[in-house]
Amino acid sequence: MDTKPAAGQPPEDPGRRRFLEIVIGVFTAIISAALAAPFLGSIIGASSRPGRRRFSKVAPVASLPIGRPVDVAYSEMASDAFVRQETVRHLWVIRGSGSDIVVYAPICPHLGCRYDWDAKNSVFRCPCHASVFATDGRVLSGPAPRPLDTLPAEVRDGILYVEWIRYKVGTARKKAV
């Protein structure tokens, strides 16, 4: 087989062709890595950080009434894959005497409805399926399979901090989702 160039065409330079192949390969690898980084970060990111607890600042303890549940709203930065956004969350907080504080997630453990405080009867009521809970979280009546879900909380320098956790609904065992 004859490798002579056709008439009127310059001879091919194998060194130049090899250089262009390498340059194109390097650029392809760089672009592929740049496109894959966010995707891999969303898959590996959350699972590679076990045990890291994120407490959010909720409210000054002095602003919470003693012995009465109060619906407290606070905002925190939440991330889903590589999207970060500010999220407003609600909690039920009951302050006992001193620094004794219980924080409940506002989600009914039966089917995930948002329950409310019935001040007249001093109970929490879920409007979806008539579950009723005592202020200590016990199920008083209804189909709820477990007590209200408490959230990890701590007081630092007179400020309440809470870690938001979403629990699986409809199960008798409290399990984070």
Nearest to 152 by CA among 168, 163, 136, 167: 163
Cα separations in angstroms, 56 against 15, 30, 95, 103, 157: 60, 38, 18, 13, 14
pLDDT reported for residue 50: 52
Q: H or E element: which one contains 101?
A: strand 101-104
Q: Give me 101's structure tokens.
A: 């504080």
Interior CA angle at 135 toward 73 and 95, to 5°? 55
Q: What are 129-172's pLDDT values in tens digits?
A: 889 999 999 999 989 899 999 999 999 898 899 998 889 998 88
Q: What are 76-116's pLDDT values in tens digits?
A: 877 766 677 888 899 999 998 767 899 999 999 998 899 99
Mean pLDDT across the chain, nearest whole number? Answer: 84
Phi, psi for residue 26 in degrees, rounded to 5: -65, -45
